[in-house]
Structure formats: structure tokens, C-alpha cells
Structure 1
């Protein structure tokens, strides 16, 4: 059994998936892209702006599950251009000042809505 986690403070799913699901003591957060939940639109700007919005979306989902970034044990980062990695990493690092989770970063040819970054995570509660 699992419980679906939903918050209006993160983007509505754009397909047949949940923002997150909780099973046993584990929270699985679906890949988040830089959509502003207030407007439903992709954030326009540079890769730093996109990454900040992704992290805000993850933060809103974690909060809905009564968790925070310290609960995250694994992240997956998908980028369209590995040349943006240093900028993404700098913003990402602001959220994990101590004991950062395991992570992989993968360059992909395309992401939903033609964004430049998507991040998913797993947290233990």
C-alpha cells in the first residue's frame, strides 16, 4: 500500500503520475521541472532560475509529506546540457549544506516542456 502526496504549492502533474508517493517509511518524489505552481507556466530565465524553481517545487512536496531536505537520501538530476552542471550544482548545494544525499547527474537530449533541468528524489521519513 502507498499514499499519494499532493500539494497545490507544487506543479500539477502533466501526465498520469503523482507529485509523490509514500510507502513504508520512504517518500518517492517525481521528477520536478521548473513550473511555477501559481501560474502553471515554465519559469523563464537562466539555468539558475530554473533550478531554484525545481528546488522550491521539491521543497513544497517535502513539506506536504512533513519532511524537509534533510530527509532526502538520493537525488537524480537530468540536464539538457552538462555545461550547465556547475550552475545547477551551486543552487542545488544551497539546499544540502550538511550531509548531502547520494546523487547522479545525467545529460539527456530532451526534457518535458523543453526545460533544461529536472530533479527527482527519494526521502526517508
Structure 2
């Protein structure tokens, strides 16, 4: 197993790694819209917070030497299901034509009062 720390993503707020490589599979920890330097939530609405969350996810992908097309599954937690369309638009633009499997659920009390959190699984042949 290899533990991956992404210096360009927001700092871990607990005893975990940004990602863990196990064989050809990578498990990426949940990312939220924290600014990677200040740790402050970026954005007041879903579109802004989703964009920063995906920026942080991309920083983890980059550190691990992965591409967006290596994503096989994402799990998305939204604080308000009413934000689904705004999230989906940002997410679709981020992925382009790539379409990994996805779970998207409404939840409450995300870290720091965030509107979104997302984790991912990647696979490299």
C-alpha cells in the first residue's frame, strides 16, 4: 500500500491520507471546498463550492499521477438536494465526456458547514 499526500489540496483534518494506492486501485478521501492554503471554505453557493471541491480532487489526482479518465466511481454528499442541478452542471463540465459510476446523496453537517463533499475511486491498468 502507498499513502499519498497532495500538497496542493486542502490539508487533512484528521489521521488520514488524501489517497491510498492498493494495487492498481486508488481510493481518494473526501474533498471539500476548503482553500488549500487558508483552509477557508471557498464560495457561498453550490457552483462555487463544487468547483473548488473538484479543484481539490484534481490536486489529489495530479499528485497520484492520475487523470480524470482514471476515475471509476465518485460518491457525492450534498447538504441540500435542491443544489443537485447546480452541482451536476459543474461536475459534468469537469468530467467532459468521461462518465464514472456515481452515488449522490443528501446529508447534513458536512465539515466546516460545506455544501458538498466528494470522494472517488480510480483504477489504472
Fold similarity call, TM over 0.5: yes
Alignment of 1:109-124 (within 5 A): 109-124=108-123
Looking at structure 2, the residues matched to 94 and 85 of structure 1 have their Cα atoms a distance apart, in angstroms, of: 14
TM-aligned CA deviation for residue 41 of structure 1? 1.2
TM-score (ref. length: structure 1): 0.95
RMSD: 0.9
Which segments of 5 or more consecutive residues in structure 1 lack a partner in the other structure? none
Which segments of 5 or more consecutive residues in structure 2 lack a partner in the other structure? none
Does residue 72 of structure 2 align to residue 73 of structure 1? yes
TM-aligned CA deviation for residue 102 of structure 1? 0.2
Which residue does the alignment assign to 2:27? 28
Does residue 17 of structure 2 align to residue 18 of structure 1? yes
Alignment of 1:1-125 (within 5 A): 2-125=1-124
Equivalences, count: 124
TM-score (ref. length: structure 2): 0.95
Looking at structure 2, the residues matched to 109 and 67 of structure 1 have their Cα atoms a distance apart, in angstroms, of: 30
Dislocated runs of 4+, deviation >2 Å: none
Residues 52-102 of structure 1, C-alpha deviations (whole Å, 9 max, x = no match): 000000101001111111000000000010000000000000122223100
